[in-house]
Amino acid sequence: MRIRDAVQKEDYKILVVDDEQGIIDSLTIFLNKYYVTGITNPMEAVETLKNEHFDLLILDFLMNPIHGDQVVEEIRKFNKDLYILLLTGHKDLAPPLETIKRLDIQGYCEKSDKFDQILLLIESGLKSVEQMRIISEINQKLSDAYTSLKEAYHGTIESLRVAVDAKDSYTAGHSDRVAYYSKLIGEKLGMSEEDLETLYEGALFHDIGKIGIPDSVLKKAGPLSPDEYDDIKNHPSIGAHILKPAKIFDNLIPIVKHHHERYDGKGYPEKLVGEEIPYMARIVAVADSFDAMTSDRSYRPRFTLIKALDEIENGKGTQFDPIIADAFILVMKEKREQIENDLKIHYVLRKDDSV
């Protein structure tokens, strides 16, 4: 166990690895204002670094049973950030520059009877360590602030989304189901976890713009007039406008704004065609249509599962992206029981609903 000096030491931990105990003793004396640990066995040093934090490693090159560059090879497998200063007493046997760069060895110095150059490199290295500490602290604070801000915005938008569901009892839970279906499609298509999260959130908020649609239109029993239908068609643009001030939701806006585009270009609001439509919006379009068809409305009863899937099949290439539609149909056939359980069977399947 290392005994700390009575003198107040600076808050840095340095590990010195050299198979000559005399070098370790000399450096420990010169570095007495820091917490210094010395080890003569390079293999023991690797194990120590796996279990204990150090700010700087001073490492001899020529050692037994392995050389310093081999020690660094092992260290870099589990620690990419450690600041390493490599020493050698044999200039002609020093590792090539390419090796030093590849292993990200930050400092290199020849041994001598005087430690002036080594001490300068150590001081320089510790300044770099301090700068990295500061940068790390700043990044953590920024990350915490970003998370808090995102949670605040998320809470606000979630409140609006719940308000939309509350406006129309026929569509309550619609956004949750669309988000669920969308994620299943995304998983089937092999999307990354990051993209799946974006897809899920975008689907969750896809109808947020309905908060700006009059109740008289949103809850109307029966067919809509042309003017009322125009009002309904505004909700994707309204939703995008709601999200626009919060930059953290930039990646959700294309989903919200374009989930009612059609693959044949006859959708809204911009009549985009085929792959002009954002990929995630094409996914949500399929999930949204399926849930609308399998949910009761004031003006019509829900479709059976078979009928809804037939509509998705028939809409391939016109209303829906064919690849996405096929992925959804396949998911429904493969995971029907799981889907029913996950959704707590939000509709009671009819006898003719077999897949």
List active site positions. Answer: 210
- Tell me whether the omega of the peptide bond preceding residue 269 falls within 30 degrees of 0, making it cis: yes
DSSP state letters, 257-294: HHTT--TTS--SSS---GGGS-HHHHHHHHHHHHHHHT
**CA–CA separation, 120 and 341 (whole Å):** 67
Ranges of beta strands (E only) in 52-155 are 56-60, 83-88, 107-110
Whole-angstrom CA distances from 312 to 30, 53, 271, 291 are 77, 57, 20, 11
Residue whose tokens read 């092999």: 190
- Can you read off the two tokens belonging to residue 283? 């996914």
Rg of the chain, C-alpha, whole Å: 32
Amino acid at 246: A
69 CA to centre of own chain: 35
53 contact partners, CB below 8 Å, separation of at least 6: 13
